[in-house]
Amino acid sequence: MFSFLKKKPAGSDSDQDNPDKPASEWFAQLKSGLARTGDQLSGLFVRGGKIDDDLYEELETILVTSDVGMNATQSLLAELRHQVREKRLSEASELREALANCLLRLLEPLAKPLVPEQVRTHKPFVIMIVGVNGAGKTTSIGKLAKYLQGHGLSVLLAAGDTFRAAAREQLAAWGERNNVTVIAQQGGDTAAVIYDAVQAAQARGIDVVLADTAGRLTTQANLMEEIRKVKRVIAKVIPDAPHEVLLVLDANTGQNALSQVKAFDQALGVTGLILTKLDGTAKGGVIAAIAKAHPIPVRFIGVGEGLEDLRPFVAEDFVAALMGLEE
């Protein structure tokens, strides 16, 4: 048992967050999704040997190719070398726990879940969902609706992706699965749809509005300006809304995810991240790059296609899975 896994923060027990899937099953799913990186790190540490420059060089290669990025990798290795000197470590096997603790210190500040108590401070609590094409926004909205309902909150969905007809249909399907109302229009613009949805939520006493938006590249200046307009329109209905701007990131995009974080945050003031598709080919290290270069709270991570496969980010679980450790 590694020292940082001996205790979990209050509220991190996923059994309580989602009784449909036990915490052990969720962790196994996360570990499987990050196996590409976990297997490499495990292989490096379990084969034994002394801590030397060759070992550090191999570790650097694994971290960089796992999307950790050069800056975060150099920072982690510098701290790791310090730990080795301070604790007088000599064996490769001893380096594993030291690296795990270094990673945990880097990622722990990002673990700030969107808790139900926070959501209940406003009614409706408006969450704007943004991201590039294909990141998994609409799917994440469906799962997030399920999560919020599981905590006794009523939800309304706004089909703000008016550019892609399939997006409205997809959101409608999620609404049907979750038994929640979806506000949509044929054509029209995103701002108008979301404006109507927020007003409808006010009239019906709904707790949460989840507002979908069309995917856009960060280089498309006109579309980035349009999404700023959407945020301004929401504020016309509720002056302090949206209360959350969540950026959905595909974990498979590597260092591109970091540039997306910077661009969307500059345009909108992103309050939290949803990291999706940690269920197969993702390397997972980009979260360390984000923590080092542009730290924004990771609200949720997704590890599969099921309704219950989106959960709050718990740094201890993520580090253990990334390192190929047992729960």
Q: Is the pLDDT of residue 7 over 50?
A: no
What is the span of the domain harbouring residue 209? Answer: 116-314
Q: Is the pLDDT of residue 326 over 90?
A: no
pLDDT digits over 161-177, tens only? 877 767 788 888 888 88
Q: Is the pLDDT of residue 2 over 90?
A: no
263 is a domain residue? yes
> What is the pairing mode between strands 155-158 and 181-183?
parallel
Q: Is the pLDDT of residue 324 over 90?
A: no
Residues 92-97: what's their mean pLDDT? Answer: 88
Per the DSSP assignment, residues forming a β-bridge with 156 are 181, 209
CATH number at residue 202: 3.40.50.300
Per DSSP, which regions of the chain are E strands?
A: 125-130, 155-158, 181-183, 208-211, 244-250, 272-276, 298-302, 310-312
CA–CA separation, 237 and 306 (whole Å):
34
Please indicate, yes or no, whether residues 151 and 209 belong to a single structural domain of this protein. yes
Number of domains in the chain: 2
Cβ proximity of 71 and 89 under 8 Å: no
Please indicate, yes or no, whether residues 37 and 167 belong to a single structural domain of this protein. no
pLDDT digits over 134-151, tens only? 888 888 999 999 999 999
Select from 136, 154, 165 the least CA-distant residue to 247: 136
Q: What does pLDDT average to over the chain?
A: 87
323 is a domain residue? no
Cβ proximity of 95 and 47 under 8 Å: no
Q: Which residue has the higher pLDDT, 180 or 281?
A: 180
Residues 223-251: what's their mean pLDDT? Answer: 92
Q: Which residue has the higher pLDDT, 283 or 56?
A: 56
324 is a domain residue? no
Residues 311-318: what's their mean pLDDT? Answer: 93
90 is a domain residue? yes
pLDDT digits over 279-301, tens only? 766 688 899 999 999 999 999 99
